[in-house]
Amino acid sequence: MLDQVIKIIVNKLMFMCQSIPIIPEVLHLTYIQNQGAAFGLFFGQRTILIAIGIMVIMLMIYYHYLIGVHDPTQIALALILGGSVGNITDRILRGSVVDYVDFRVWPIFNLADVMINLGVLFIIFYLFKRKKRRLKSTRHYSK
């Protein structure tokens, strides 16, 4: 929701490619419309990106019910789901995704992208932690 509010404000108050320094040469608010996915993948393939987005959303909803409400990865699923809904809303309504966070040394992105990446990192962290626990318990039982 916050991501969509920021995108509406950026879309209404800024012109394309306008950049407003927040911390000069470090962090800028820069308005672009991204017709691809991360790093320009699938540029101009709106239909494919919408289909992928819908599949991700359906998969997150499926896993939500599959793993149970007390599973720690529910937080990660919520982050990925929220970010995916934010970006797919842009693709459907605007034909592209509004990006605005510009660290000058990295491709411009938005809050939905941050949510998706945090969710994925959380899942990776959780899987490594779970695997480490299993290895410890296996060693404990094999003694």
Q: What is the pLDDT of residues 89-131, one digit of tens each?
A: 999 999 999 999 999 999 999 999 999 999 999 999 998 888 7
Active-site residue flag, 99: yes
User: How many other C-beta atoms are found inside a 10 Å radius of the C-beta of residue 119?
Assistant: 22
Average pLDDT of the segment spanning 59-84: 91
Residue 138: is its pLDDT beyond 70? Answer: no
Q: What's the confidence (pLDDT) of residue 101?
A: 98
Distances (CA, A) of 95 to 15, 29, 78, 129: 17, 21, 24, 39
Residue 143 banded pLDDT, cuts 50, 70, 90? low
Tell me what the mean pLDDT of segment 6-12 comes to. 96
Instruction: Report whether 89 contacts 4 (CB < 8 A).
Output: yes
Burial-class residue 52 by CB neighbours within 10 Å (0-12, 13-18, 19+): middle
Neighbouring residues of 121: CB distance < 8 A, sequence distance ≥ 6? none
pLDDT digits (tens, 9 = 90+) for 29-56: 999 999 998 877 889 899 999 999 999 9
Decide if 113 is catalytic: yes
pLDDT of residue 97: 96
Segments making up each domain of the chain, as ranges: 2-11+20-127
Cα 103 to Cα 140: distance, rounded to the nearest angstrom: 47
- The mean of the pLDDT values for the chain is 91
Work out the pLDDT band at 84, boundaries 50, 70, 90: very high
Give CA–CA dist 35/135, Å, rounded: 44
Given a cut of 90, is residue 141 above it in pLDDT?
no
Q: Which residue among the candidates 3, 90, 102, 113 is catalytic per the annotation?
A: 113
If one counts every other C-beta atom within 10 angstroms of the C-beta of residue 108, the result is 20
